[in-house]
């Protein structure tokens, strides 16, 4: 069963596709809804569209078969006017004698202009038969349908109330019908157009165009009489297309050399085939097989012209030609790129050539200048070269020919030209007599010869730096000779000489002079020095070296202290020469070593001197006391306070008590008290221990005048002593307030940022800050507490902090004290 009338076919490929056009079958279905429908048979239910059926039932039926009512009367359908018997007889004869008419026998004038294929109707179907109906009932069938006719007209642009046609012109007369001669298909007996249609729609096409159009449309549903042969189609490729294809394949493929030589075995066919690159797989040719040809079938026809070898060879020649064209295009593009590349290379080489020519010119000029210097250095030359002229030549080389000068071997050039002139310049030089001789000329040569990229300063740089080699080989021998003859105690000339050359001489050469030449001479001289016999103090020829040598002199300090300690064994404080010898060393020695030296060698001598002091208010000898107080700036305040507490104040308070017990004159005692207090400096008086001793003396005096036991009491003595006590304690309070004000001012001057960063959060932090400022150790004592409070060491003093108050450990109890007093006690 064929359903081409339902779906339609493509003319070229024969592919079935459904047609959505309104066909004659659709119109018949709408005009005659009660027509006989086809009922599906068992074979159609089994095989579907492939079942065989009669040609009369070509249109499938989608509805069930209605049962006929055989009891109803027979109804007849009008078929038009009845003809005469002769006419019916002739019609029957013509029907019997009717034969299939071939297309070639149909006259051309009867061929329709355009053939529309649609549904075929059964001859027995009702409707569309001859005869006419009145226009009264026209469109009455719409009552039995869903109005598909009206909808179809509206979809095709029809507006109700207006006429039909492209311009809505309509027609006045009804459409005329033309009866066919026989029962053939539409157009089988020629054109069926009426006179009215020819007037309304005239045809101007020629017969040839009508024939071509008819044959084209006829081929869509009828087989080709020529056996299905189609005209071969040829495709042509231009050279430009081949070139473009070659460029695209080159960009996409980009084959590598390794992959281009891979052996590939193709086993996809009946026989294996070997290719020598992956690119050959994409260019496989249809090589004819050697197998015997298959026997022809019933419907197959033998080929009239079959030469597969010739076709293969022709295709191979075409492919080879295409590859040659592509390869030639690639080679041409490569040559063009090579031309561009070579043009750039030529431009670059021209620039290099010009640069090289300029360099050759500069080098030739430099060579001429060097040869001129060598000529003028020859013995017997009329215009010998001087050191200043040679320096000017090198300045010219550095300014005008810097690149050539930097790339050249300056060491060899300087050795050949400058060194002989430098030796001649320093031939008669004595560094100790004329220490500044040659400094300017050497400073000039330093700028000319020294390597700017020299990072290290050691003797290994002699091979790379001309100036360092010049100083080491020419200047250094004169320094060695003069240092060998130099006496360390005459240090002034040598110090002046090195001071004048310190900015010119390389650092490593100056270090070598100080470490290898000067220090051994000083060390040997210190070992031979005797402080008891030498009239020249040692600091006079050691201290001038401090700016140059600094920490290098540290090894000399220990033997100097030992010699001084030995000299002080038999020393007495009455000899002031010891202070003159030791005073210059106070700032040279470290604070720790100096304090240790003082405590070991000076403080015991001063204590013995204070023990020998006799306190007599009536006839006082102050020499011993002056000898001790004279060392106040040399020894620390804490050491001096310790001496006074141990050797002076016990005797002084004892004398005061004995004097008060013998009916004294309180005015004399007041003067005696104030006189002794004036002997001490403010720094000593500010110490808490000294304050305590003088306050103790005031308490003794107050107790003496306040006690009523005894005999006669001097009038006004009690008031005088009370006034004295009040005055002294007010002075102490004012002094402490002034000290605290000075400390606050000093902290304010250190800067807002530093002060803000070091603001103490509590009293403990304040004590720690003060300890750091005065280099005092402040740390907790592990495992030691007093009444639950942590104990701390502040220097050599044990303290604890309670509610913002510092308590210091006394002899029997803990005594509160101020922060300044704590610092003075720790020092």
For residue 131, name the pLDDT band (cuts at 50, 70, 90): very low
pLDDT at 120 over 50: no
Q: How far apart are the first and last CA of the chain?
A: 129
Q: Find the mean pLDDT for residues 152-164.
A: 79
801 and 763 in contact (C-beta within 8 Å)? Answer: yes
Give CA–CA dist 504/471, Å, rounded. 10
800, 790 contact by CB (below 8 A): yes
Using the Cα atoms of residue 688, residue 692, residue 693 and residue 695 in order, give the sign of their dihedral.
positive
Count CB-CB contacts under 10 A for residue 166: 6
- Helix (H) or strand (E) holding 502, with range, is none
CA 232, distance to chain mean position in Å, is 67
7 falls in which pLDDT band (50, 70, 90)?
very low
Let me know: does 669 contact 656? Beta carbons within 8 Å: yes
> What one-character DSSP code corresponds to residue 48?
G
Mean predicted lDDT score pLDDT of the chain: 75
How far is 151 from 149, CA to CA, in rounded Å? 5
pLDDT in tens, 609-648: 988 888 888 888 888 889 989 998 888 888 899 889 988 9
pLDDT for residue 234: 75
Model confidence pTM above 0.95: no
Exposed e or buried b per residue across 73-86, where buried means at least 16 C-beta atoms within 10 angstroms of its C-beta: eeeeeeeeeeeeee
Collapsed DSSP state (helix, strand, coil) of residue 791: strand
**pLDDT digit string (tens) for 428-464?**
888 888 888 888 888 888 887 776 544 344 444 555 6
Strand residue runs (E) in 295-424: none
The two three-digit tokens of residue 822, written as one number = 């704590």
- Kindly report, residue by residue over 187-202, the tens digit of the pLDDT: 777 777 787 777 776 6
**pLDDT of 363 higher than 60:** yes
Residue ranges of alpha helices (H) inside 568-665 are 577-582, 591-601, 603-611, 623-629, 637-647, 649-660
**In this prediction, what percent of the chain has a pLDDT beyond 90?**
5
Q: Select from 415, 525, 431, 391 the least CA-distant residue to 468.
A: 415
What residues contact 474, with CB distance under 8 A and at least 6 apart? 419, 422, 423, 426
Quick check: 5 and 58 in contact, CB under 8 A? yes
Average the pLDDT over 525-550 and give the result. Answer: 88
Q: Provide long-range contacts, Cβ within 8 A and 24+ apart, for 317-322.
A: 319/283, 319/285, 322/237, 322/242
Using pLDDT thresholds of 50, 70 and 90, give the confidence band for residue 350.
very high
Q: What are the sequence ranges of the domains in the chain?
A: 763-825
Q: Which of 164-168, 660-664, 721-725, 752-756 has the lowest mean pLDDT?
A: 752-756
Length of the chain: 827
**Half-sphere exposure for 391 (CA within 13 Å, toward CB):** 15
Taking only the tens place, the pLDDT of each residue in 752-774 is: 444 444 555 677 888 888 888 88
Alpha-carbon distance 11 to 219, whole Å? Answer: 7
Look at strands 814-817 and 805-809 and give their pairing: antiparallel
Give the pLDDT confidence score for residue 282 in this predicted structure: 63
Helix axes 819-826, 637-647, angle to 10 degrees: 90
pLDDT at 341: 95
pLDDT in the model for residue 348:
94
pLDDT at 86: 46
Distance (Å, rounded) from C-alpha 370 to C-alpha 393? 9
Asked if residue 492 has pLDDT above 80, the reply is yes
Instruction: Name which residue leads in pLDDT, 643 or 393.
Output: 643
Q: Which has more confidence, 303 or 522?
A: 522
* Chain Cα centroid distance, residue 596: 58
**Spatial contact of 700 and 652, defined as CB atoms under 8 Å apart:** no
Q: What's the pLDDT score for residue 344?
A: 95
């Amino acid at each position: 069963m064929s359903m081409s009338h339902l779906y339609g076919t493509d003319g070229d490929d024969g592919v079935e596709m459904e047609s959505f056009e309104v066909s004659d079958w659709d119109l018949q279905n709408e005009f005659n809804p009660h027509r006989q429908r086809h009922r599906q048979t068992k074979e159609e239910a089994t095989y579907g569209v492939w079942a065989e059926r009669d040609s009369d039932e070509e249109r499938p039926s989608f509805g069930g078969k209605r049962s006929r009512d055989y009891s109803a009367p027979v109804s007849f359908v009008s078929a038009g006017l009845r003809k005469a018997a002769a006419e019916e007889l002739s019609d029957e004869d013509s029907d019997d004698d009717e034969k299939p008419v071939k297309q070639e026998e149909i006259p051309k004038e009867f061929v329709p202009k355009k053939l529309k294929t649609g549904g075929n109707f059964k001859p027995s179907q009702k409707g569309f038969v001859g005869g006419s109906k009145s226009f009264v009932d026209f469109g009455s069938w719409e009552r039995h349908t869903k109005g598909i006719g009206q909808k179809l007209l509206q979809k095709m642009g029809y507006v109700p109330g207006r006429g039909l046609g492209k311009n809505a012109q309509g027609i006045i007369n009804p459409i005329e019908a033309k009866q066919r001669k026989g029962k053939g298909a539409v157009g089988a007996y020629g054109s069926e157009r009426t006179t009215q249609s020819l007037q309304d729609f005239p045809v101007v096409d020629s017969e040839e165009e009508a024939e071509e159009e008819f044959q084209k449309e006829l081929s869509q549903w009828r087989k080709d009489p020529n056996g299905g042969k189609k005209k071969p189609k040829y495709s042509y490729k231009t050279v430009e297309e081949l070139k473009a294809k070659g460029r695209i394949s080159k960009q996409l493929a980009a084959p590598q050399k390794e992959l281009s030589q891979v052996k590939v075995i193709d086993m996809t066919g009946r026989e294996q085939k070997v290719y020598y690159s992956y690119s050959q797989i994409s260019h496989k040719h249809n090589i004819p097989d050697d197998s015997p040809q298959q026997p022809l079938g019933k419907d197959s026809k033998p080929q009239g012209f079959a030469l597969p070898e010739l076709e293969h060879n022709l295709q191979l020649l075409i492919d080879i030609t295409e590859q040659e064209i592509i390869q030639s295009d690639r080679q041409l593009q490569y040559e063009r790129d090579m031309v561009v590349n070579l043009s750039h290379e030529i431009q670059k080489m021209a620039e290099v050539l010009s640069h090289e020519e300029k360099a050759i010119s500069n080098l030739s000029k430099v060579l001429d200048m060097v040869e001129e210097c060598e000529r003028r250095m020859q013995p017997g030359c009329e215009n010998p070269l001087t050191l200043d002229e040679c320096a000017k030549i090198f300045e010219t080389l550095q300014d005008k020919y810097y690149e050539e000068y930097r790339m050249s071997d300056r060491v060899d050039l300087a050795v050949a030209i400058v060194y002989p002139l430098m030796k001649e310049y320093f031939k008669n030089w004595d560094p100790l007599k004329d220490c500044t001789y040659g400094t300017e000329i050497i400073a000039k040569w330093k700028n000319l010869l020294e390597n700017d990229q020299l990072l290290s300063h050691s003797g290994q740089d002699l091979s790379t730096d001309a100036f360092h080699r010049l100083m080491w080989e020419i200047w250094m021998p004169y320094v060695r000779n003069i240092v060998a003859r130099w006496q360390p105690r005459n240090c002034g000339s040598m110090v002046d000489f090195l001071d004048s050359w310190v900015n010119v001489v390389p650092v490593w050469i100056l270090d070598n002079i100080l470490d290898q030449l000067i220090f051994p001479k000083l060390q040997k001289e210190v070992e031979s020095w005797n402080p008891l016999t030498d009239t020249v103090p040692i600091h006079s020829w050691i201290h001038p070296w401090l700016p140059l040598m600094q920490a290098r002199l540290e090894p000399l300090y220990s033997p100097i202290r030992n010699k001084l300690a030995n000299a002080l064994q038999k020393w007495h404080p009455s000899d002031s020469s010891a202070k003159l010898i030791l005073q210059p060393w106070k700032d040279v020695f470290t604070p720790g070593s100096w304090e240790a030296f003082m405590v070991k060698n000076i403080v015991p001598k001063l204590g013995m001197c204070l023990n020998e002091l006799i306190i007599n208010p009536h006839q006082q000898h102050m020499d011993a006391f002056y000898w001790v107080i004279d060392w106040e700036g040399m020894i620390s305040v804490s050491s001096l306070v310790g001496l006074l507490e141990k050797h002076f104040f016990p005797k002084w308070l004892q004398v005061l008590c004995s004097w008060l017990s013998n009916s004294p004159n309180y005015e004399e005692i007041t003067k005696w008290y104030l006189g002794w207090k004036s002997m001490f400096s403010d720094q000593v008086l500010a110490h808490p221990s000294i304050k305590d001793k003088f306050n103790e003396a005031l308490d003794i005096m107050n107790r003496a005048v306040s006690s009523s036991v005894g005999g006669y009491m001097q009038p006004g003595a009690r008031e005088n002593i009370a006034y004295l006590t009040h005055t002294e304690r007010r002075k102490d309070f004012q002094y402490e307030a002034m000290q605290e004000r000075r400390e606050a001012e000093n902290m304010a001057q250190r800067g807002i940022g530093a002060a803000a960063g070091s603001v103490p959060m509590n009293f403990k932090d304040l004590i720690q800050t003060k300890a750091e400022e005065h280099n005092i150790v402040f740390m907790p004592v592990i495992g030691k507490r007093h009444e639950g409070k942590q104990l701390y060491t502040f220097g050599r003093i044990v303290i604890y902090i309670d509610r913002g108050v510092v308590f210091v450990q006394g002899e029997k109890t803990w005594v509160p004290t101020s922060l300044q007093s704590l610092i003075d006690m720790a020092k």
